[in-house]
Amino acid sequence: MSNAPTTSLENAPADIKLAVDLICLLEDNDIAPQTVLSALDIVRHDFEKKLQSQPL
């Protein structure tokens, strides 16, 4: 048995949980890495536009 601390995804921040879920989804569906990166660029651009349009 290891004395190393264990981290639980249950206690992870929301962005880490989402990242893990997305990685699992993409890997389970055998999406090509270049396709993933291209899609993530589109998603990032879309959400950056949404952030800019939100009132401060």
d(Cα 51, Cα 54) in Å, to the nearest integer?
5
Position 3 scores a pLDDT of 55
Q: Where are the domains of the chain?
A: 14-53
Angstrom CA distances, 8 to 12, 14, 15, stand at: 7, 12, 14
Query: Does the structure show a pLDDT above 70 at 4?
Result: no
Q: What is the pTM of this model?
A: 0.73
Supply the DSSP symbol for 4.
S
Q: pLDDT tens digit string along 17-29?
A: 999 999 999 999 9
Q: Bigger pLDDT: 5 or 33?
A: 33
